[in-house]
């Protein structure tokens, strides 16, 4: 219950932010942190709780983004209606990838490679099909109305991404307190033991990838509204897949707050290195990379794990 209250207090505090902060830069940083949190939460459900390390969450992200953008561009559908549609499309791709790879028992690095391959296939498809605008991508028509999921200022976007992140939090919390979550972590820790105890391993994994993919697709649909543009490289390129997995790994795998901690730490680190080393191109990225390596090496259970260790030491 404590966790649940912490989630609500945290989200409540962020919701009050636009009342006190008007700086677009700050709000943008918060929005991008929450957006990275959402992708991390989605990835964390499948990998952190379920032990299935995907390297191709871009396949779900891009599908969500294109599903929403294409409906708006080609059929003039309202962007709010596109959001649930995008989630369903992403979840369907998740079901497809999951059914194929889990049916044939792919695990570990093999599963990671197959997901990466799926994302690449989608990228190439999006690059060559007219429906997705080919390599040029799709521009969402400008409307600047809240009724069309486009806002004048940043605050509107902040509320939307906050609501999606809250959903991600509640899903993670539910996994910690439900039979399904217990089954999923059992599958992560030992598939054979889980099966012997009556857990339908295939089904549990399939459900996890569907939930994870749907949530990722919501992130894709949000991206399209926020930046009003999508192309194959943004949608299906490896950058999104990496962004989704970095946060939870840095923050703490299989925890409720890990994705948020990781996303916040990475965003701050990125801003910091860029501001300090902005004059020398590339140096900021080198420092970013070095800190990342150090974190993964010395904090194998992430920042969340570090907090736990410190809390255990404190009297």
Of 92 and 201, CB closest to another protein: 201
Interacting residue ranges for another protein, rule: CB under 8 A: 177-179, 182-183, 185-186, 189-190, 192-201
Those residues whose C-beta lies under 8 Å from the C-beta of residue 74, and which sit 6 or more positions away, are 131
Q: Quick one: 170 or 201, whose CB is closer to another protein? A: 201
* Residue nearer to another protein on the CB measure, 51 or 214: 51
Minimum CB separation from another protein for residue 199, in Å?
6
CB 283 within 8 A of CB 277: yes
- Angle, in degrees to the nearest 10, between helices 24-44 and 238-251: 80
Query: 116-142 as b/e, with b when 16 or more CB fall inside 10 Å?
Result: bebbbebbeebbeeeebbeeebbebee
Nearer residue to another protein within complex by CB, 145 or 193: 193
Q: Which residue's structure tokens are 């989704």?
A: 244
> Shortest distance, CB of residue 2 to another protein, whole angstroms?
16
User: 3-class SS at 138?
Assistant: strand
By beta-carbon proximity to another protein, the closer residue of 185 and 241 is 185
**At closest approach, how far in Å is the CB of 201 from another protein?**
7
Query: Residue 188 CB, nearest distance to another protein (Å)?
Result: 8
> Tokens standing for 138?
């799709």
The SS3 call for residue 279 is: coil
Shortest distance (Å) from residue 303 CB to another protein: 18
User: Closest approach of Cβ 183 to another protein, in Å?
Assistant: 7
State which residue, 163 or 195, has the beta carbon closest to another protein: 195
Smallest distance from another protein to CB 282, Å: 39
Shortest Å distance, C-beta 106 to another protein: 18
Nearer to another protein, 22 or 190 (CB): 190
φ, ψ of residue 230 to 5 degrees: the values are -145, 140
CB of 181 to another protein, least distance (A): 8
Question: CB neighbours of 266 closer than 8 A, spacing ≥ 6?
Answer: 36, 246, 247, 250
Helix, strand, or coil here: 200? coil
7 versus 39: smaller Cβ distance to another protein: 7
Q: Name 39's Cβ contacts closer than 8 Å, sequence gap at least 6.
A: 57, 61, 216, 219, 240, 243, 244, 247
What is the C-alpha to C-alpha distance for residues 185 and 51, in angstroms, rounded to an integer? 8
Question: Would you tell me how many other CB atoms lie within 10 Å of the CB of residue 291?
Answer: 17
Nearer CB in complex with another protein: 201/291: 201
Angle of helix 58-75 versus helix 108-128 axis, rounded to 10: 20
In 3D, which of 7, 214, 233 has the Cα closest to residue 119? 233
């Amino acid at each position: 219950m404590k966790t649940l209250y912490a989630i609500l207090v945290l989200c409540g505090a962020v919701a009050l932010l636009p009342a006190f902060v008007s700086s677009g830069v700050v709000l943008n940083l918060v929005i991008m942190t929450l957006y990275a949190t959402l992708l991390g939460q989605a990835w964390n459900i499948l990998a952190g709780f379920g032990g299935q390390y995907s390297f191709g969450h871009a396949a779900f992200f891009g599908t969500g983004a294109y599903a929403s953008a294409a409906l708006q561009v080609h059929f003039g559908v309202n962007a709010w209606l596109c959001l649930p549609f995008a989630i369903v499309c992403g979840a369907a791709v998740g079901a497809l990838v999951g059914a194929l790879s889990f049916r044939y028992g792919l695990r570990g690095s093999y599963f990671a490679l197959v997901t990466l391959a799926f994302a690449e296939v989608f990228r190439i498809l999006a690059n060559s099909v007219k429906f997705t605008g080919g390599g040029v991508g799709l521009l969402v028509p400008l409307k600047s109305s809240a009724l069309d999921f486009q806002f004048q200022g940043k605050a509107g976007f902040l509320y939307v991404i906050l609501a999606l992140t809250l959903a991600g939090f509640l899903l993670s919390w539910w996994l910690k307190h439900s039979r399904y979550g217990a089954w999923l972590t059992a599958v992560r820790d030992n598939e054979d033991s889980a099966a012997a105890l009556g857990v339908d391993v295939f089904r549990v994994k399939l459900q996890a990838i569907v939930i994870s993919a749907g949530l990722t697709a919501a992130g894709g649909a949000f991206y399209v509204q926020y930046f009003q543009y999508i192309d194959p490289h943004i949608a299906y390129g490896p950058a999104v897949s990496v962004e989704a997995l970095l946060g939870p790994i840095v923050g703490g795998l299989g925890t409720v707050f890990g994705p948020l901690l990781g996303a916040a730490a990475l965003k701050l680190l990125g801003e910091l290195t860029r501001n300090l080393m902005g004059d020398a191109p590339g140096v900021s990225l080198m420092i970013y990379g070095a800190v990342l390596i150090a974190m993964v090496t010395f904090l194998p259970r992430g920042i969340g794990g570090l907090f736990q260790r410190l809390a255990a030491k404190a009297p």
